[in-house]
């Protein structure tokens, strides 16, 4: 039985890598794709939701990650709809709060995080490992106040500035307080964009 699934270009590339490998850790996937761990995590979750792979929690290179295994069904892959995007992270309220604390402070010690959240150290560790597995943070072993702990830092997002470019010109709306859709600069930028897409 054949199933047709719409995938983005990144999802198609990821799915092909996983099928060719037979199984692949999520951390190996995002490195092979050349994307951030967060993006790799979103791609893997999207492929799981579409029924193309399974994700099994595991430890790879002393880090918690997921083992990605292709489902055996024969699947036809088609181009994604324009609206299709990898889904946003599904975090629990505690995980969202923890991530906000880590991002606001640009880093947090795990031993301090669970105190700030008002949870046990075991629950704090589970929250931190879940955020790490989702590619939201990095956990680096360290010593704080004479005790072993982890330094939790937000994973930097890779921004795609090419979306603001038309040829070698950047969007005229970048620094504008008010947008004039009839401006000459915007018209010129749109013409450059249409020339680029026609090629």
Q: Which of 5-19, 138-152, 164-178 has the highest mean pLDDT?
A: 138-152
- Distance set, CA 107 to CA 66, 153, 160 (Å): 24, 4, 24
- Average pLDDT value over all residues in the chain: 80
CB 136 within 8 A of CB 155: yes
Residue 147's CB: how many other CB atoms inside 10 A? 9
CB 17 within 8 A of CB 24: yes
Pick the closest to residue 142 from 96, 108, 183, 115 (CA basis).
108
d(CA 29, CA 17): 8
Asked if pLDDT for residue 85 goes beyond 70, the answer is no
Interval 97-125: pLDDT, tens: 999 999 999 999 998 998 999 888 888 88
Which comes out higher in pLDDT, residue 57 or 144? 144
Asked if pLDDT for residue 127 goes beyond 60, the answer is yes
Q: 134-143 in b/e burial notation, b at 16+ Cβ within 10 A?
A: bbbbbbeeee
Asked if pLDDT for residue 88 goes beyond 50, the answer is no
Which comes out higher in pLDDT, residue 43 or 188? 43
CA atoms within 13 A on the CB side of 93: 0
Asked if pLDDT for residue 165 goes beyond 90, the answer is no
Looking at residues 120-147, what average pLDDT do you find? Answer: 90
Interval 20-29: pLDDT, tens: 888 888 888 8
What domains can be seen in the chain, in order of their start residue?
2-79 (1.10.10.10), 95-154 (1.10.10.10), 161-198 (no CATH)
Share of the chain above pLDDT 90, in %: 15
CA torsion angle 62 65 71 72 (round to 10): -10
Confidence of residue 1 (pLDDT cuts 50, 70, 90): very low
> What pLDDT is stored for residue 87 in this prediction?
42
> What pLDDT is stored for residue 171 in this prediction?
78
> What pLDDT is stored for residue 142 in this prediction?
92
């Amino acid at each position: 039985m054949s199933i047709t699934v719409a995938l983005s270009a990144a999802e198609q590339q990821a799915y092909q890598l996983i099928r060719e490998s037979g199984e692949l850790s999520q951390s190996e996937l995002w490195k092979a794709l050349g994307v951030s761990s967060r993006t790799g995590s979103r791609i893997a979750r999207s492929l799981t939701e579409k029924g193309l792979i399974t994700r099994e929690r595991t430890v790879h290179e002393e880090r918690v990650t997921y083992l990605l295994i292709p489902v055996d069904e024969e699947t036809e892959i088609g181009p994604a709809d324009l609206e299709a995007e990898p889904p946003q992270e599904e975090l629990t309220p505690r995980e969202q709060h923890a991530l906000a604390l880590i991002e606001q402070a640009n880093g947090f010690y795990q031993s301090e995080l669970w105190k700030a959240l008002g949870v046990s150290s075991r629950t704090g560790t589970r929250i931190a490992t879940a955020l790490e597995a989702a590619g939201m943070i990095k956990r680096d072993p360290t010593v704080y106040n004479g005790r072993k702990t982890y330094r939790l830092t937000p994973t930097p997002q890779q921004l795609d500035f090419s979306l603001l470019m038309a040829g070698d010109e950047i969007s005229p709306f970048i620094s504008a307080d008010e947008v004039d859709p009839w401006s000459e600069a915007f018209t010129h930028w749109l013409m450059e964009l249409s020339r680029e897409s026609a090629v």
